[in-house]
Every structure is written in C-alpha cells, then in structure tokens.
C-alpha cells in the first residue's frame, strides 16, 4: 500500500513522537500559576533524549556553517539570516540520510533536534552580529583590524554575555508573559511537522514543505535570478524585483525617493501572519507617518540637506586635522580626499540630497527613544516578576502562602550559573575595552549595565515582532557615551558594540528557548548546548573574518564586494557623537523627546486601559520599529497579518491548523535558499 507523500516524510519511530500539537492557552491561566501548569501538563524534558553528543555535534557543524553565511550576508546587506528554522530542516534531512545509508541506527528525538538548534543558534547567530556592525565600523574608522586574539575573546565574551542575560528574561517573557517570538513558534512547528504522526500532523507537514518550496522559488527569482541578470546570463524579465515603487509623487519627488515602495519578498509577510494585527498595523501606521508625512516635510524644510552638509563638513575638519600630523608622503592622499569631500559639499548645496536614506538616519533616534522608554516602563510594571525570575528575590517582594518548592528549580538555569557566566563575560569585556581602547573600567561597567537594560528592550521587541533592533540599541549607548566621552569615537563605538552584541545574542537565544518551551524541553540543557555553540561559532567565524576582510579597503561604500551598510551607519554615528549631543540636529532631539513620551504613554495606557479600548491602542514597539526598518518591511508585516486575519474569518478551522506551518515554511524556504545563494555568490558560482 502506497503512503501519501507527506506521510512517509512525517512518520518516525513510535518512541520519538512529538508532544501535543498545540500548547494550551496559558494566557487564560493566572500569571502566578503558568509555570506550574506548564511543568505539570506539558514538560517532557526528562522522558526522551535531549542533550546528546550527536545533537551538539550536529548543531556545532551547522551553526559554524551558518555563522559564515551570516557574516557574508551581513557584510553585504547589514541583515542576518535566521538560524533556528534552517538548522532544524537541515539536521532532520541530514540525519534521515544517515539512517538510510546506515551511518545512524535511530532517529533523533524531537528534543534532540531542538537541542541541536540551540547549539546551532548560538554558534550561528550570537557570535557574528557585532562583526558586521561594531567591528567592521572600527576597521572603517581606524583603518586597522583588531589583533586576532583580541577579536577572538571579544567575540566569545560578548556571546556568553548575551547567553547569560537571556536567562532571567526567558522566565519572565516566555514563561509568564507568553510573548510570541514568532521565529521560535516557527521552529517548534517545523520540528513538530517533521517528527509527528497522524492526519493533522501529515497535513501540517505537507503544508509546511509546499510553503517551503514556494518560499525558496520566490527567493531564487528575487536574488538568484537577479544575480544572473547582472551577469547578463538571463533576460531581466525572468527576475522579480525586490520591491515595487508606488506610482505617485509627493511634491516634486517620486514616492520612491522617500523609500515608499511595496514589498515582494514574502518572508516578512509570513512573520506578520504570526505576529498578528495589532503590532503589524502599528508598524504600518508608523511607517506611513515617518516615510510619507514627516520625512517629506523635513526634506522640504531642508533638514536632510543640513544634516548631510554637517556630516561632510565634519569629514573636511577630520582631514584638516590629519594633515597637521600626517607624514609628508600621506599629504597627497589626504588632499585628494579633501577635494572629493568638498566636491560632495558643492553637489549637495546645488542639488540637495536624496531623502530615502536620510529619513531612516533621522527617524532611527525617534524609534530608539520610543522603544527604550516603552521597554523600561514595561520593565517597571513587571518588577515583581523580574525579581522572581532573577531567583531568590521573591521572598523580599512578597510572602507566598504556600511553602511548596518551585517546580522549575530543577530544570531552569540556576542563578549561580548565570552569575558566574556574567562575571566571566563582563570581566573579559571590560578588560579588553581597557587594554585595546583605553576605556576606564567604570565606563566598561556602565556599558555592561546598559547592555542588560537594553537587552530587555531588544528581547521584548523580538518577542512581539520577530525583529531585533540591534542597531537601535547600539545607538542608545553611542548617544550616552557621546555625552560622557566626547571626542572618543573608538570608545563610543566599542562600548556600543557591547550593548548591541549582548542584546542581539540574548534575543536570538530567547527565540531558541521559546521553541524549547513549546516542545516541553529542559531549559537547563538548552543553556549548556548554547554554551557549546559559542565555542564552535567563535572558532570558525573569527579566522574567516581575516580572510574575507584583511584590510579596510575590503569593506565600505567604496567596496564592490562588501559595502557593509550597518558598519557605515555605526561609523558615521560614532564620528558624529564624538563631538557630543550638541552635534545632533535640533529636529532629531525633538523627535527623540516625542518618541520617549509616546513610548511611556502607550505603555501606561496598555497597562490600565479597559480591554475594549486596549485592542485599538497602537503598540509602542511596533511604532518604534517602523522608524528603524524599511517602509516596505512594515507594509509586508501588515499584508501578512491581514491575510491571516481574513483566512481566520473565512475558514477558522483550517487557519488554526495550517497558518503557522505555512508561515513557517515560507520563512524556512527563504532562509535555506538565502544561505545557498550567499555561498554561491561567495564562491563566484553565481
């Protein structure tokens, strides 16, 4: 008898079945009881294999591979690719192949594969984020690479710092608040579909793999075919555009001049389908206000022109200062740079400046202020929960009537582990800051404290929207040190690198821990797997950095291979803020003030507004993120949320069953093919 196509793929040995398909809605359970209910009804981390040698080895290999992909793609685009879902799919496929050819005797359990992706996520995501931002910007500013061992330990310490900071946030944001972390849901759904049996599971697996194929095809038509068109190997009509320009003008400029374009790539739409209407609609509203209203007004008022001229004038002053101290043989090169910069000033004075990039450069500060103030206000409202998550502080905050032992004490990461890890990583970061860049130990300690506070914000943003505002968090630290340490661009940059690196690593690892939570995994074992991943990622990504980027000439706007857009932004902000807060344009300061007030006001309203009103309140995180990402990405979120909402209205039964698998498949398909295209381009094949 022939099995249906999806059934053969989804069926595995009977002792490796998946947990229940859907976690009970713990939001209906009182917050104080959610951890107990989860542990008593859903936890199964002690009933099947989880932290095994084969899982850690597989995760280390896949994570190391994807750390290189993220390094390459990050230097190209400033973005990184998802690791969790991709590693799940690849691991399952590889292990099934091993079973068929006799290299393995039994399939991995679902919790082994989840532990594998814990290792892969740590290796692939938490070790490379700072390289494409702060480290690359350091190279642009100084013209020199860090020494090998300094970069090696810097990468490892930052990754460990993020892993440890994720520990208390996991218990608060995942266990108690039940934040979505859409990629974590997608990874868990991917694993369920791969391991489950039964008609519903088969339907989900089939839907996931069909969507995966569709996502891969679209990714190829956008990026793979575009690369072939560039080489004149195929006609242009075979490639899809990455975005479509809106067909109207605002004043004398086209909509495209203000970055008002519609999305084609469905990955962000899939994330919007998981996130939901409130946050997605808030992002769309914020994007329209920033790019369609505020941006054009600032452009007409000449603000963007003033900002660009200020930046170019600062470059002229920098060259003039260099001429005073540089040896005679360098004068010709510096004078050439001076002439080129003055020519740019003349062009801007006569022709103005294209506003598309300037809008985000301006709105970045407003969005950062909004997300930071909202996150810290939300943190203030949750002070009891945070205290309990940190362990031991509960008794100081309130007395519990019951003397029952915390049921999660044996499986959550012990506070002592977290404190030891924080002590090692923080000491290492402070020592390197002082040794390499002369940052006093107390400024380094403040950078660590800021990292914790801003990691709360970044992790909450990731939990709500699946976007981690790493750049925005780094800018907050840059702003602080721009005031505290004026005229110290490198110190400004690297202290911000601590914040961004830790916040990015913590958010990525919470996505992974969300997946484990949904599958009933043991979080302590996931923490150990994440620690191993740091070793694997650091051992691979640091040596390859020196191969890809041997000198400053290899990156930046003048480089054809690695434009490093994120690093360019970091470097320009560091140079700007080295002159202090007064160097910011007055309208930026006004935007920051408005953003901070809105963030506080919306968070308070969300806390106290009655339910009928609360559902119509915009999300502060959504509005803030709209200020720091592309207009098209915010609209993509809205499209995905609207499609999901309509599907739910028209056919709720199938939507409940298939929405997350379809969205997960699209994300997985694009992630896998995105890595493949990046590798083909890196080798010159494409």
| CB contact at 8 A, 461 and 625 | yes
* Rounded alpha-carbon distances, angstroms, from residue 14 to 100, 190, 571: 18, 19, 55
Task: State whether residue 1 is helix, strand or coil.
Answer: coil
Q: What is the pLDDT of residue 391?
A: 45
* pLDDT given at position 289: 95
d(CA 42, CA 274): 22
Out of 402-406, 476-480, 566-570, which region has the weakest mean confidence (pLDDT)?
402-406
Output the pLDDT for position 202: 65
Judge contact between 160 and 425, C-beta under 8 A: yes
Asked if residues 34 and 176 have their Cβ atoms less than 8 Å apart, the reply is yes
Residue 594: what pLDDT? 93
| HSE value, Cβ hemisphere, 13 Å, CA-based, for 596 | 9
pLDDT tens digits, 652-686: 888 887 888 888 788 778 877 876 787 677 667 77
Q: What is the pLDDT of residue 425?
A: 93
Q: What does the pLDDT look like over 260-290, one tens digit per residue? A: 999 888 888 988 888 788 888 999 999 999 9
Which pLDDT value is given to residue 127? 66
Asked if 123 and 534 touch (Cβ cutoff 8 Å), the reply is yes
In this prediction the pTM is: 0.71
Question: How far is it, in rounded angstroms, from Cα 574 to Cα 138?
Answer: 10
- 254 - beta bridge partners? 249
Model pLDDT, residue 281? 92
Mean pLDDT of 95-117: 88
Q: Is the pLDDT of residue 19 over 50?
A: no
pLDDT for 198 beyond 60: no
- Determine the pLDDT at residue 571: 75
Mean pLDDT value of segment 529-535: 89
Model pLDDT, residue 402: 45
- Structure-model confidence comparison of residues 401 and 190, the more confident one: 190
Q: How many residues does the chain have?
A: 686
Average pLDDT over residues 401-415: 70
User: Which pLDDT does position 561 carry in this prediction?
Assistant: 63
Q: What is the pLDDT of residue 128?
A: 65
pLDDT score recorded for residue 465: 73
User: Whole-number mean pLDDT of the chain?
Assistant: 80
Residue 18 pLDDT greater than 60, yes or no: no
Which helix (H) or strand (E) segment is 249 a member of?
strand 249-250
What pLDDT does residue 25 have?
Answer: 67
- Range name among 78-87, 105-114, 384-393, 548-557 with the lowest pLDDT average: 384-393
Q: What is the pLDDT of residue 576?
A: 67
Instruction: Assess contact for 273 and 215: CB atoms under 8 A.
Output: no
Query: Mean of the pLDDT values across residues 431-456?
Result: 88
Distance CA 43, CA 178 (A): 16
Mean pLDDT of 619-642: 87
What's the pLDDT at 580? 64
Between 11 and 112, the more confident residue is 112
């Amino acid at each position: 008898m022939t099995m249906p196509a999806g059934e053969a793929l989804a069926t595995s040995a009977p002792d490796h079945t998946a947990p229940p398909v859907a976690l009970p809605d713990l939001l209906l359970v009182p917050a104080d009881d959610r951890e107990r209910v989860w542990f008593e009804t859903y936890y199964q981390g002690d009933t099947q294999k989880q932290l095994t040698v084969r899982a850690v080895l597989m995760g280390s290999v896949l994570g190391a591979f994807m750390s290189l992909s993220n390094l390459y793609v990050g230097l190209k685009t400033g973005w990184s690719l998802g690791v969790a879902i991709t590693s799940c799919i690849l691991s399952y496929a590889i292990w099934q192949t091993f079973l068929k050819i006799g290299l393995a005797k039994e399939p991995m359990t679902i919790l082994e594969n989840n532990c594998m992706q814990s290792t892969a996520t740590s290796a692939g995501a938490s070790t490379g984020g700072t390289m494409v931002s702060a480290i690359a910007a350091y190279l642009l500013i100084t013209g020199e690479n860090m020494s090998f061992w300094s970069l090696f330990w810097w990468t490892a310490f930052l990754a460990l710092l993020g892993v440890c900071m994720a520990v208390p946030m996991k218990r608060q944001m995942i266990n108690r608040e039940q934040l979505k972390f859409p990629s974590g849901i997608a990874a868990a759904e991917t694993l369920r579909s791969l391991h489950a049996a039964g008609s519903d599971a088969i339907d989900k697996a089939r839907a996931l793999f069909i969507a995966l194929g569709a996502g891969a095809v679209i990714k190829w038509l956008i990026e793979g075919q575009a690369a072939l068109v560039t080489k004149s190997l195929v006609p242009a009509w075979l490639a899809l555009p990455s975005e479509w320009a809106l067909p109207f003008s605002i004043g004398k400029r086209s909509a495209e001049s203000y970055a008002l374009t519609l999305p084609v790539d469905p990955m962000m739409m899939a994330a919007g389908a998981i996130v939901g209407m409130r946050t997605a609609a808030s992002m769309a509203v914020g994007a329209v206000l920033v790019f369609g209203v505020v941006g054009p007004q600032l452009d007409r008022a000449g603000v963007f022109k003033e900002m660009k001229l200020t930046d170019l004038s600062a470059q002229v002053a920098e060259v003039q200062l260099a001429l005073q101290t540089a040896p005679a043989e360098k004068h010709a090169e510096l004078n050439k740079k001076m002439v080129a910069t003055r020519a740019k000033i003349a062009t801007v004075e006569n022709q103005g400046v294209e506003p598309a990039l300037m809008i985000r450069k301006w709105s970045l500060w407003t969005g950062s202020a909004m997300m930071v103030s909202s996150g810290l206000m939300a943190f203030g409202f949750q002070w009891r929960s945070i205290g309990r998550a940190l362990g031991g502080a509960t008794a100081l905050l309130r007395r519990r009537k019951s003397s029952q032992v915390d049921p999660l004490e044996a499986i959550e990461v012990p506070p002592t582990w977290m404190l030891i890890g924080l002590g090692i990583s923080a000491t290492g970061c402070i020592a390197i800051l002082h040794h390499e860049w002369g940052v006093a130990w107390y400024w380094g300690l403040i950078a660590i404290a800021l990292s914790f506070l801003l990691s709360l914000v970044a992790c909450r943003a990731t939990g709500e929207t699946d976007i981690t505002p790493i750049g925005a968090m780094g800018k907050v630290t840059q702003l602080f040190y721009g005031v505290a340490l004026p005229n110290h661009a490198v110190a400004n940059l690297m202290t911000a690198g601590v914040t961004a690196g830790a916040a990015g690593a913590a958010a990525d690892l919470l996505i992974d821990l969300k997946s484990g939570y949904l599958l009933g995994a043991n979080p302590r074992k996931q923490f150990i797997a994440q620690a191993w991943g740091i070793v694997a990622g650091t051992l691979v990504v640091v040596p390859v950095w020196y191969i890809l980027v041997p000198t400053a000439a290899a990156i930046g706007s003048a480089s054809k291979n690695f434009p490093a857009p994120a690093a360019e932004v970091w470097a320009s902000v560091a140079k700007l803020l080295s002159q202090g807060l007064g160097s910011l344009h007055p309208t930026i300061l006004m935007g920051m003030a408005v953003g901070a007030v809105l963030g506080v006001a919306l968070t308070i309203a969300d806390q106290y507004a009655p339910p009928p009103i609360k559902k119509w309140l915009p999300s502060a995180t959504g509005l803030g993120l709209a200020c720091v990402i592309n207009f098209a990405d915010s609209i993509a979120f809205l499209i995905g949320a609207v499609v999901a909402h309509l599907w739910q209205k028209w056919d709720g039964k199938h939507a409940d069953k298939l929405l997350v698998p379809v969205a997960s498949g699209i994300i997985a398909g694009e992630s896998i093919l995105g890595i493949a295209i990046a590798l083909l381009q890196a080798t010159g094949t494409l």
